[in-house]
Amino acid sequence: MARLTALLLGLITAALAEEVSAKDMPAALWDTLNEIWLALSVVIYLIVAVPSLIFMIKYRYKRGEREMGDQEHEGHWGLEALWTIVPLIVVIYLATHGFAIFKEMRTPPKDALEIKVTAFMWGWEFEYPNGKKVYAFFKQDKDAVKGYRAQEFEKPLLPVGRPIKVNLTSKDVIHAFYLRPAKVVQDAVPGRNTYLWFQVNEAGEYWVFCREYCGTWHSRMFAKIKFVPETEFNNWLGGKTALKKTDEGGAL
Partner 1 sequence: MREAIHIEKPWFSASLKEWIFTTDHKKIGIMYGITSLVFFIVGGIMALGMRVELFNPGTQHVSPDTYNYFLTVHGALMLLWWAIGIWGAFANFLIPLMIGARDVAFPRLNALGYWTFFAASVIALITLIPGNQIMHMWTGYPPYSANPNSGLTALFVFIWHLTGAASIMGAINFLTTVVRMRAPGIGFFNMNLFLHGVSSMNLIQLLGIPSIAGAVTMLFLDTYVGTNFFNPAKGGDPILYQNLFWFYSHPAVYVMVLPAFGVISEIVSTFARKPIFGYKSMVVAIWAIALVGFMVWTHHMFVSGIPDWVKILMSYTTVLIGVPTGIKIFNWVGTLYRGAVVYKTPMLYALGAILMFLIGGLTGIPLGLPAFDIAVHDSYFVVGHFHYVLGMAVTLAAFGGFFYWWPKVTGRMYSEALGKLSFWTIIVGSNVLYFPQLIVGLSGMPRRYYDYPVIGEWITLHQIQTVGAFVLAFGILLGIIALIKGTLSGEKAPANPWMSNSLEWRLPSPPPPHNFDEPPKVEKDYCPHGYCKF
Residues near ligand CUA (CB under 6 A): 119, 122, 175, 210, 212-214, 218, 221
How close are the terminal C-alpha atoms of the chain, in Å? Answer: 56
What backbone torsions phi and psi does residue 62 show, to the nearest 5 degrees? Answer: -130, 125
The burial of 101, by beta-carbon neighbours within 10 Å (0-12 exposed, 13-18 middle, 19 or more buried), is given as middle
- Pick out residues in 97-126 that bind partner 1 (CB under 8 A): 98-99, 101-102, 105-106
Which residue lies nearer to ligand HEA by CB, 39 or 90?
90
Q: Which 8-state DSSP code applies to residue 1? A: -
Shortest distance (Å) from residue 141 CB to partner 1: 14
Which residue lies nearer to ligand CUA by CB, 5 or 219?
219
Residue 110 binding result from partner 1, ligand HEA, ligand CUA, none, given CB thresholds of 5 to 8 Å by partner type: none
Q: What gap in Å lies between CA 204 and CA 184, rounded to an integer?
A: 18
Pairing of strands 175-179, 204-210: antiparallel
In angstroms, the Cα distances linking 166 to 34, 113, 129, 182, 197 are 24, 8, 11, 13, 6
Binding-site member from 21, 83, 230, 243 for partner 1 (CB under 8 A): 83
Identify whether the C-beta of residue 141 lies closer than 8 Å to the C-beta of residue 220.
no
Residue 140 binding result from ligand CUA, partner 1, ligand HEA, none, given CB thresholds of 5 to 8 Å by partner type: none
Choices 19-27, 85-93, 170-178, 204-212; region in contact with ligand HEA by CB under 6 A:
85-93
Size of interface with ligand HEA, in residues (CB under 6 A): 5
| The one-letter amino acid at 143 | D
Which residue lies nearer to partner 1 by CB, 145 or 243?
145
Q: How many CA atoms lie within 13 A of 97 on its CB side?
A: 15
Residue 41 binds partner 1 (CB under 8 A) = yes
Residue 122 binding result from ligand CUA, ligand HEA, partner 1, none, given CB thresholds of 5 to 8 Å by partner type: ligand CUA
Q: What is the 3-state secondary structure (H, E, C) of 104-125?
A: HHCCCCCCCEEEEEEEECCEEE
Which residues fall within 8 angstroms of residue 247, CB to CB, at 6 or more apart?
133
Binding-site member from 16, 81, 90, 92 for ligand HEA (CB under 6 A): 90
Binding mask 130-169 for partner 1 (x = CB under 8 A): ---------------xxxx---------------------
Shortest distance (Å) from residue 202 CB to partner 1: 16
Q: What gap in Å lies between CA 235 and CA 32, rounded to an integer?
A: 36
| Residue ranges binding ligand HEA (CB under 6 A) | 44, 48, 87, 90-91
